[in-house]
Amino acid sequence: MRDTLLIIEDEELLGGELARHFRDERWRVERATSLAEAREVLAGAADPLVVLSDMNLGDGSALDLLEEHRDQRSEWILLTGFGTVPDSVRALRLGAFDFLEKPCPLDRLDLVVAGAARSARAQRRLRDETERRNRTYSPDVFLGESRQAGEVRAMLRRLVELPIATLLIEGETGTGKGLAARILHYGGQRADGPLVEVNCAALPRELMESELFGHEAGAFTGARGRHRGLFEQAQGGTLFLDEVGELDPALQAKLLKAVEDRRVRRLGAERETDVDVQLFAASNRPLSRLVREGGFREDLFHRLGVLQLELPPLRVRISDLEQLVPALLAEFNARSGAHVTVVPDPVWRRLQAYAWPGNVRELRNVLERSVLLSKGDTLDDRWLGLPGPSETAPVGPGVDAIRVPIDGSLGLDEIEAMLIRQALEHSARNVSAAARLLGVSRQTLRYRIEKHGIQTGEEERASGGD
């Protein structure tokens, strides 16, 4: 399909000559002889890639028309026989691609129009990509009809409006901390800047320091050239530090200084470099608890936690499966070419009865495997890989054992949390009774409960239920 060129020229002879020339150059040409006609064309479905317009028309100045339509996806080239310096300044201020004097040779005009077309195509690609990205990472993609999911979406919508310096995102593994960071970056004021992500638990301290702050050639053995750190790479955008609680204490001190001063010093450098980034930090363990245990700096915690977002685990919003499961099935169907759309009632019951210690990440993995292995349009429960009812049922009267999967889907911390929750359930939320069941002291169990952020019900009783 040919691109559209709008020619606005009130001289009939010149307008006709330009139209014939650019039709020969494979353009789809629209013509207007006045501002009024041009407004009708621009209001219609033409969507010109380039507008070539005389500056002064019988019913006004093309600069006024440009100012009305400067947000459209077109590049403007203005022609004039008696332009003035103020006109040219205003044209460039309004975003005109070029400002040419009449008569302009056709070969020169061809070059300018071709350049304007390339610029307009690039801008349209960028705008389309931005719109697609904004749709992909809008607050609405945090699915769920539960109260908890609604509160998260409301907080995300509020946060994207704010000029964020630092933000702390907390939640269990798999609750969507990375998704929240992308929503806030691409929906926020720094969407045009880069989003740089790093997992603080993935690199040893020596490499992590170099990755964050960069290094100069010769700063250490093997440093053969200059390396821009992640702070510099995220200039004008967002730096997302996942699992920030795993940072070495010495690095925590350097991170605090970088955040406070908005400057970083590369390893081996003599001078500091100014940085302008918004910093998102995420942790799957409550940093406040790490501070109490001495594993995280209190001053850094308060600096990162000026704004906080807490993501709920899937087990407390299990009703959200009704939205999550169909959405994930559609995603995996599109990827694999499958057509799994039917979820039988027994499968729904198994999905809703499971505690999902790995949260939405675990749900994604379970459904992706099931879509790949199921035949036809029905989700086959054989491929769920979830523990059976006897393995997942809470401990109750007459039951003195539980079973947990050892297939790698649960870590030790998650298994411990599951044991504590089931012991509390069996003992009617009585911590002393649960401690006796588990064979530990009440003090030890209280510490473990706080470690995993488990609600026992004693908090409400102590406050009178308020």
Q: For CATH 1.10.8.60, list the domain ranges present in the chain.
A: 314-386
To the question of domain 314-386 being in CATH 1.10.8.60, the answer is yes
Q: What is the mean pLDDT of each run of 10 residues along the chain (466 residues)?
A: 88 91 92 91 86 89 87 85 74 84 88 92 81 78 94 96 95 94 93 92 86 85 81 96 93 95 90 95 93 93 96 94 96 93 93 92 94 92 75 43 57 79 80 80 82 70 46
To the question of domain 4-133 being in CATH 3.40.50.2300, the answer is yes
Q: How far is CA 358 from the centre of its chain?
A: 21
Distances (CA, A) of 385 to 54, 328, 332, 388, 403: 70, 17, 17, 9, 14
Q: Are 32 and 15 in contact (CB under 8 A)?
A: no
Q: For CATH 3.40.50.300, list the domain ranges present in the chain.
A: 142-310
Q: Cis omega before residue 249 (within 30°)?
A: no
| CATH placement of domain 142-310 | 3.40.50.300
Q: How many CB atoms lie within 10 A of CB 174?
A: 21
Q: Are 238 and 194 in contact (CB under 8 A)?
A: yes
pLDDT of residue 401: 56
Question: What's the burial of 413, exposed, middle or buried (CB within 10 Å: 0-12/13-18/19+)?
Answer: middle
**In a 3-state reduction of DSSP, which class is residue 195?**
strand
Q: Are 166 and 306 in contact (CB under 8 A)?
A: yes
Q: Are 242 and 222 in contact (CB under 8 A)?
A: no
| CATH placement of domain 396-466 | 1.10.10.60
Asked whether the whole model's pTM tops 0.75, one would answer: no
Query: Which residues share a beta bridge with 76?
Result: 51
Report the largest interatomic distance among the alpha carbons of the chain, rounded to a whole angstrom.
99
Q: For CATH 3.40.50.2300, list the domain ranges present in the chain.
A: 4-133
Distances (CA, A) of 44 to 52, 303, 378: 17, 52, 47
Q: For CATH 1.10.10.60, list the domain ranges present in the chain.
A: 396-466
Sheet with 238-242: list strands edge to edge: 195-199, 238-242, 278-283, 166-170, 308-310
pLDDT of residue 229: 92
Going by their DSSP bridges, the two strands 4-8 and 28-32 should be labelled as parallel
Tell me the C-alpha distance between 99 and 17, whole Å.
20
